[in-house]
């Protein structure tokens, strides 16, 4: 569902948004949503009390991926420039910056999983007792 939604966002994007920028933004949304979808489908016994990785993924999707598709709101008048805070005008989003955000999210996931599954991952897990039914 997330992939279909991102595909629609890419296809129906505003003309001011270039295709490479839209694809990186869609990849950021998908990469941010994967841990959350995994968390939702986990059994209650496997779910951690605080879903840190999942919340970070939602943060990246909501604040770095999705806003890219709403650049038309930041257009000033009939020009194609993007106006940000303090009337700073941008001609286009920086593809390198978007790519760095996406790559940093992937590196964060790799680091998280290597620590969790490595030697440091053997720690006490705090769990609520399962309710008796």
What average pLDDT score do residues 4-16 get?
90
pLDDT of residue 45: 83
133 in any annotated domain: no
69 in any annotated domain: yes
129 in any annotated domain: no
pLDDT of residue 115: 79
126 in any annotated domain: no
Residue 19 lies in domain? 2-119
115 in any annotated domain: yes
Nearest-angstrom CA–CA distance, 127 and 110: 25
Q: How far apart are the first and last CA of the chain?
A: 34
101 in any annotated domain: yes
Nearest-angstrom CA–CA distance, 53 and 38: 11
Q: Residue 121 pLDDT more than 60?
A: no
pLDDT of residue 30: 94
Q: Where are the beta strands (DSSP E) in the chain?
A: 82-83, 89-90
The model carries a pTM of 0.78
130 in any annotated domain: no
Number of domains within the chain: 1
88 in any annotated domain: yes
Q: Residue 127 pLDDT more than 90?
A: no
Nearest-angstrom CA–CA distance, 81 and 31: 28
Nearest-angstrom CA–CA distance, 1 and 41: 14
- Nearest residue to 60 (alpha-carbon basis) of 10, 104, 121: 104
- Nearest residue to 31 (alpha-carbon basis) of 76, 65, 74, 78: 65
Please answer whether residues 48 and 5 qualify as being in contact, where contact means their C-beta atoms are separated by less than 8 angstroms.
no
Please answer whether residues 68 and 22 qualify as being in contact, where contact means their C-beta atoms are separated by less than 8 angstroms.
yes
């Amino acid at each position: 569902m997330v992939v279909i939604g991102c595909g629609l966002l890419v296809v129906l994007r505003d003309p001011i948004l270039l295709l490479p920028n839209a694809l990186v933004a869609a990849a950021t949304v998908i990469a941010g949503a994967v841990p959350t979808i995994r968390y939702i489908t986990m059994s209650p016994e496997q779910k951690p009390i605080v879903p840190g990785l999942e919340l970070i993924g939602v943060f990246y999707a909501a604040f770095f991926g999705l806003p890219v598709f709403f650049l038309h709101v930041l257009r000033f008048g009939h020009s194609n420039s993007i106006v940000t805070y303090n009337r700073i005008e941008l001609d286009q989003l920086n593809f390198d910056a978007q790519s760095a955000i996406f790559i940093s999210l992937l590196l964060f996931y790799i680091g998280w999983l290597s620590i969790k599954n490595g030697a440091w991952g053997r720690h006490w897990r705090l769990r609520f007792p399962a309710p008796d039914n």
